[in-house]
Amino acid sequence: MAKVTFHGVGIKALSACVPPEIVSNRDLGYLIPEEEIEKTINNIGIDQRRIAAPDVMASDLCFKAAQQLMADNDIAPESIDVLLFMSQTGDYRIPATSCLLQRRLGLPRETMCFDITLGCSGYIYALSTAFAYASMEGVNRVLLLDGETFSKIVNRRDKVDWPLYGDAGTATLIEKGDYGDSTFMLYTDGSGENTLKIHAGMRNPITPESCVEREQEEGNIRNDLEVFMDGMDVFNFAISKVPKSIKRLLQETDHTIDDVDYLVFHQANRFMMDFFVKKLKISPERVPYCISKYGNTSSSSVPLTISSELNGRLDGTHTVVLSAFGAGLSWGAAIMQTRDCNVSPVIEY
Amino acid sequence: MSLERFIENFTDLFEETEPDTIQATTRFKELDEWSSLFALSVIAMIDEEYDVEFRGDDIRNSNTIEDLYNIVKERVE
């Protein structure tokens, strides 16, 4: 079991950037019968999403978020020792996008940069990596950029995925300081590899055929370079694993649900999060949602929710739990004491 | 667990469908209110009421409410 605890490191600041282009789920008449649109919106809790222009990448959104964070907190580029980029929609297959961001952000050549790739659970994993490096001798500050542009890998005629996903980029600054303990518990079940998948890649090489759109299950259209999701299996996975993982984290760290000031979920869909809230018996005002405005932004949804809903609310000391889950299957939760965490409001690209 | 109670739990999920139209032999996918999103409520109900994990294929391979009940029953026992 991966249960890891850190001392004397924490989140100093956080920011997020979304594309200005708004796509409303009320315009999905071409995909969903008109009479079912309102019901679908109520159920998934997503009114609208931000969709990046064709020439705007996850790295661009993260770059803007990072610039904002550095300006708001007076962070000198030279003070950043490690840059992590967490995404499944990086600029290129080679090189790592974090290297490109090192140059764009004017970070010194002494900066250690690498990419992390995981599904919607990615932020919790990447944050544990950032905390681990920040705990090491020789590292003071880690800049974690987590961004996704799923609009580029979801087919607009896929009625399972298209109403859900939005694009966003975020920046989180982790550093040594007078922070309390943080504990992460991380889990994996690779037997669920087919639940959420892009078929074409290395094992199934990309050919001209991969780009051909085909009608798939229940009339959904996609090609082999686009995301498939079995919504029912993801739901079953999430409801059976997520509440238990949070209960266990609280138990292992001698907390109760009433100790938690804010519980930030990966914004998968509203129905699912409401189910978690009920199951965990946490008061709903402690569970921020931004899904109605931004949709499911994959791994960036946890920091986007903090930026959107908790800016100005993390002054002083707070007990915060973060929980995310997704492709792999992969899931995890973290509990930490935030101290005067400076959260910038969401900006537009 | 009883089939009657299972049908009651299943029926409670519906808002517009008349309760007496839902029986053990009802082909639930043919109900007007049924949708793939509705299936999530069924999975949630089965988790809450019976603590049983229900997968997408369980729903896909079932036709009647009794089919669902039989899968749940098997896993509870």
Name the 3-class secondary structure at A188.
Answer: strand
Could you give the count of Cα atoms lying within 13 Å of A114 in the half-sphere of its Cβ? 7
A121, A332 contact by CB (below 8 A): yes
The predicted structure's pLDDT at residue A35: 85
Q: How far apart are CA A337 and CA A10, in angstroms?
A: 8
Q: How far apart are CA A172 and CA A306, in angstroms?
A: 10
Tell me whether residues A236 and B56 touch, CB distance under 8 A. Answer: yes
Q: How far apart are CA A35 and CA A17, in angstroms?
A: 34
For the whole model, what pTM was predicted? 0.93
Q: How far apart are CA A62 and CA A85, in angstroms?
A: 9
pLDDT at B77 over 80: no
Q: Which of B58, B56, B69 is nearest to B26 (CA)?
A: B69
Residues of B with CB under 8 A from a CB of A: 35-37, 39-41, 43-44, 47-48, 53-57, 59
Closest residue, chain B, to A218 (C-alpha): B36
The predicted structure's pLDDT at residue A115: 98
- Looking at the DSSP bridge assignments, the partners of residue A5 are A183
The predicted structure's pLDDT at residue A267: 97
pLDDT at B67 over 80: yes
Asked whether residue B53 is assigned to any structural domain, the reply reads yes
Partners of B47 on chain A (C-beta within 8 Å) are 236, 239-240
Kindly report, residue by residue over A34-68, the tens digit of the pLDDT. 888 998 999 899 999 999 999 999 999 999 999 99
A257, A250 contact by CB (below 8 A): yes
Phi, psi of B73 (to 5 degrees): -60, -45
For residues A283-296, average pLDDT: 97
A285, A258 contact by CB (below 8 A): no
The shortest CB-CB distance from A40 to any of B37, B43, B44 is to B37
Q: Chain A window 279-308: which residues touch B at a Cβ cutoff of 8 Å? A: 279
Asked whether residue B68 is assigned to any structural domain, the reply reads yes
Domain limits for position B54: 3-12+29-76
For residues B64-69, average pLDDT: 94
The predicted structure's pLDDT at residue A147: 98
**A223 in B contact zone (CB under 8 Å):** no
Tell me whether residues B43 and A272 touch, CB distance under 8 A. Answer: no
Partners of B55 on chain A (C-beta within 8 Å) are 232-233, 236
Partners of A160 on chain B (C-beta within 8 Å) are 36
Asked whether residue B67 is assigned to any structural domain, the reply reads yes
The shortest CB-CB distance from B56 to any of A39, A44, A230 is to A230
Could you give the count of Cα atoms lying within 13 Å of A238 in the half-sphere of its Cβ? 32
The shortest CB-CB distance from A232 to any of B47, B48, B59 is to B59
The predicted structure's pLDDT at residue B36: 79
> Is the alpha carbon torsion for A211, A215, A221, A226 positive or negative?
negative
Asked whether residue B21 is assigned to any structural domain, the reply reads no
Domains of chain A by start residue, with CATH: 1-349 (3.40.47.10)
Closest residue, chain A, to B43 (C-alpha): A236
Q: Which of A44, A344, A26, A338 is nearest to A177 (CA)?
A: A338
Which ipTM value was assigned to this complex?
0.79
Question: Regarding beta strands A9-18 and A342-343, do their DSSP bridges make them parallel or antiparallel, or are they unpaired?
Answer: parallel
The predicted structure's pLDDT at residue A197: 97
The predicted structure's pLDDT at residue A22: 97
Partners of A275 on chain B (C-beta within 8 Å) are 44
**How far does the CA of residue B3 sit from the closest CA of chain A (Å)?**
22
Kindly report, residue by residue over B11-66, the tens digit of the pLDDT. 988 888 887 888 899 999 998 888 878 888 899 899 989 999 898 899 999 999 99
Number of DSSP helices (H) and strands (E) in chain A, helices first? 8, 18
Kindly report, residue by residue over A111-170, the tens digit of the pLDDT. 999 999 999 999 999 999 999 999 999 999 999 999 999 999 999 999 999 999 999 999
Closest residue, chain A, to B54 (C-alpha): A236
The predicted structure's pLDDT at residue A185: 98
Kindly report, residue by residue over A63-83, the tens digit of the pLDDT. 999 999 999 999 999 999 999
Interface contacts (A, B; CB < 8 Å)? 43
* Structural domains in chain B (count): 1
Q: How far apart are CA A86 and CA A115, in angstroms?
A: 6
Asked whether residue B23 is assigned to any structural domain, the reply reads no
Partners of B50 on chain A (C-beta within 8 Å) are none
Q: Which of A227, A295, A311, A309 is nearest to A44 (CA)?
A: A295
Kindly report, residue by residue over A11-40, the tens digit of the pLDDT. 999 999 999 999 999 999 999 888 889 989
For residues A311-321, average pLDDT: 96
The predicted structure's pLDDT at residue B35: 82
DSSP, residue by residue, A17-34: EE-S-EEEGGG-TTTS-H
Asked whether residue B48 is assigned to any structural domain, the reply reads yes
Closest residue, chain A, to B38 (C-alpha): A43
A338, A320 contact by CB (below 8 A): yes
A2, A97, A52, A231 alpha-carbon torsion, rounded to 10°: -30
Asked whether residue B19 is assigned to any structural domain, the reply reads no
Kindly report, residue by residue over A103-120, the tens digit of the pLDDT. 999 999 999 999 999 999
Q: How far apart are CA A98 and CA A89, in angstroms?
A: 12
**A230 in B contact zone (CB under 8 Å):** yes
Q: Chain A window 42-71: which residues touch B at a Cβ cutoff of 8 Å? A: 43-44
pLDDT at A209 over 90: yes
